[in-house]
Structure 1
């Protein structure tokens, strides 16, 4: 019988507001009796939407799952500055001098493309091993350095004089709370995030996710779906066995220079007979290396 304790794969959770990402993982572990579950990309407790969870040996692929671009939607409120850069924090300043929608749109143009962004002081960013939110809660906020991110699109729609709806397509590591904070600062009135939903974390969409209480082993997706455009390398069973045993010399003997693999940075290798994906190869300094074996 299939259970999460015997499988390696991916669960797509539609996270509710009010739970941290760690709490979602904890509930999955308790419900399914599986100790080896992790998430790929933290969502703030009050945010909703797609949380990609890795199960079993697939937890070794978490760094790949985190790396995909993200799509977020939500609302920004103008006229407030808070200590958390969202409406759930302590209000530090208020302003009645609210911008018109055209001014908001013009200001948002600055936040498309490559940016240097300072994370919120209440965040999971680590400095010398300490989480920023932990330091802030004991009254010793950390100095957070700007980080480079990329915003592909920043679309806006008016909701009211004080509030706009947004949809942002961005790189891993982009803080939407920081976008709201910085846009409000530029407009001279302050702003904070008032709602947030993750709609996608490439290659996955929240449309394929389920609420926490509805997820079961039948919803477990094969780990190879994380690499939909990655070329596949078919191997014989004895070659897969050698890779599993750590024999890197095999890779030097394989022909990996054909047109099918030109420009590829990684390959999913599969059993030639069954078609079952067994692991991942990556290219480093013109040489192929075994990254993860999941056979």
Structure 2
């Protein structure tokens, strides 16, 4: 019997700004999208918990080289705090480990939020992917071992209350990389003299991508394979729009394409930039830095 041929993988590049569904892992989402596009290469910019919904930027092909820039971008989350109980996981999936009859009013909640904005120290949840002596914290916690995680500095740009009720409140946070919303919920409740955990979590933005850009798995599946589905891709450059762009001429583009630095010319040419990207005729050529008027590529796109 002839063995069935495997589907040919395509060298397709771009971004799928996925609205990840509930109870679906980030790895599952990447696998599904990669299969739908028959993509040779795929990755994601920032893991979302299975119980979280929202923006999961999935990079195909050359766009995977821009994952670090998107992953390090500012994030916006909308989440609910369920008042009165703490759980092992700091969300609704965990076992209840402590309860409280205290229910904060809106004024009290608003009053404590400034303590959680700016540069603050945060203790990650014990059920997290952080490693302790080479082991994932959540693996140690599930095995019944005592997990001690040191507080880490995070940046919270804004934290506001969208809705407030006796049993739960909905908040929105704008924050930097490494922020755990589950820890925010836990810590806010403790400062208010009660207990709390995350009831729902939605990521509304990651770097340049937001809810307005998102597509669902249902939309991807409904689109006919080929041009119709490919039209739902954002270009590779969409992941870099938060960085300065430098447009090169043909000679400079040829040099950068071979991984070589080039001297930038013209009155508007920058002298120094920590991070930027260069293009030629609208196509991404490389990301890198500018030192003393010379662009030095770090990652070259093909």
TM-score (norm 2): 0.87
CA separation in 1, counterparts of 2:103 and 2:44? 38
> What is the deviation of 1:229?
4.6
Equivalence for 1:59: 64
CA separation in 2, counterparts of 1:26 and 1:256? 43
> What is the deviation of 1:263?
5.4
> What is the deviation of 1:276?
2.5
Equivalence for 2:152: 147
- Of the three residues 54, 69, 73, the one matched with 1:68 is 73
CA separation in 2, counterparts of 1:204 and 1:141? 38
Distance 1:234 1:136, change over 3 A: same
Structure 1 gaps of 5+ residues are none
Equivalence for 1:80: 85
Distance 1:96 1:8, change over 3 A: same
> What is the deviation of 1:115?
0.7
- Of the three residues 268, 276, 283, the one matched with 1:267 is 276
CA contact (8 A) 1:98 1:162 kept: yes
> What do the CA deviations read for 1:222-280 (whole angstroms, capped 9, x no partner)?
111222253333333343333232334xx2xx136844425533332222xx3333222
CA contact (8 A) 1:4 1:56 kept: no
CA separation in 1, counterparts of 2:301 and 2:20? 27
Q: Which moved more, 1:226-235 or 1:160-169?
A: 226-235
Equivalence for 1:197: 202
Q: Which moved more, 1:277-286 or 1:223-232?
A: 277-286
CA contact (8 A) 2:43 2:64 kept: yes
1:230 aligns with 2:221: no
1:171 aligns with 2:176: yes
Secondary structure class of the residue paired with 1:197: strand
> What is the deviation of 1:153?
1.0
Root-mean-square deviation (CA), in Å?
2.2
Number of residue pairs matched by the alignment: 287
Mapping 1:211-290, distance limit 5 Å: 211-215=216-220, 216-248=229-261, 251=262, 254-255=263-264, 258-261=267-270, 264-271=273-280, 274-283=281-290, 288-290=295-297
Equivalence for 2:299: 292
TM-score (norm 1): 0.89
> What is the deviation of 1:59?
1.1
CA separation in 1, counterparts of 2:178 and 2:166? 30
> What do the CA deviations read for 1:81-138 (whole angstroms, capped 9, x no partner)?
1000011210001111222221111122210111111111111223343222122222
> What is the deviation of 1:221?
1.3
Structure 2 gaps of 5+ residues are 1-7, 221-228
Q: Which moved more, 1:97-106 or 1:74-83?
A: 97-106
